[in-house]
Amino acid sequence: MRVIVVGCGRLGSDLAYRLSEQGHEVTVVDQQASAFDNLRPDYRGRTVQGDVLAEGVLERVGADKADALAAVTNSDPINAVVARVARVAFSIPNVVVRSYAPSWIPMHEAFGSQVVSSTTWGAQRIEQLLLHGAAPSVFSAGHGEVELHELTVPAAWSGRLLSLFVGEGSLAVALTRGGRASLPGPDTRLETGDVLHVSTTQAGLEALRRRLEERSDRCSS
Chain segment 4-23, per-residue pLDDT in tens: 999 999 999 999 999 999 99
- Give all strands of the β-sheet with 2-6 in edge-to-edge order: 46-49, 25-30, 2-6, 68-71, 94-98, 114-116
Give yes or no for residue 69 having a pLDDT over 60: yes
Q: How far apart are CA 17 and CA 41, in angstroms?
A: 10
Please report how many Cα atoms fall inside a 13 Å half-sphere around the Cα of residue 202, on the Cβ side: 10
Give yes or no for residue 124 having a pLDDT over 70: no
What pLDDT was estimated at residue 118?
77
Q: How far apart are CA 216 and CA 210, in angstroms?
A: 10
- What DSSP string describes 135-161? S-EEEEETTTTEEEEEEEPPGGGTT-B
Chain segment 81-122, per-residue pLDDT in tens: 999 999 999 999 999 999 988 888 888 888 888 898 877 766
Count of other CB atoms within 10 angstroms of residue 66: 22
Task: Grade residue 129 by pLDDT with cuts at 50, 70 and 90.
Answer: low
Chain segment 48-62, per-residue pLDDT in tens: 999 999 989 999 999
Query: Which residues on neighbouring strands pair with residue 46, listed in sequence order?
Result: 27
The β-bridge relationship of strands 46-49 and 137-141 is unpaired
Q: Is 166 helix (H, G, I), strand (E, B) or coil?
A: coil
**Cα dist. 78→99, 100, 172 in Å?**
10, 11, 41
- Domains of the chain, earliest start first: 2-116 (3.40.50.720), 122-220 (3.30.70.1450)
Residues near 196 by beta carbon (within 8 Å), at least 6 away in sequence: 150, 151, 152, 153, 162, 165, 172, 174, 175, 176, 184, 190
What pLDDT was estimated at residue 131?
53
> Residue 160: is it exposed, middle or buried by C-beta count within 10 angstroms (0-12/13-18/19+)?
middle
Chain segment 164-219, per-residue pLDDT in tens: 777 778 888 899 998 899 998 888 998 998 988 988 888 887 777 776 666 555 55
Q: Tally helices (H) and strands (E) across the chain.
A: 6, 11
What pLDDT was estimated at residue 151?
82
Residue 71 φ then ψ, to 5°: -100, 100
Helix-, strand-, coil-residue percentages of the chain, each rounded to 5: 40, 25, 35
What pLDDT was estimated at residue 217?
52
Please state, for a pLDDT cut of 90, what percent of the chain lies above it: 48
What pLDDT was estimated at residue 78?
94
What pLDDT was estimated at residue 141?
81
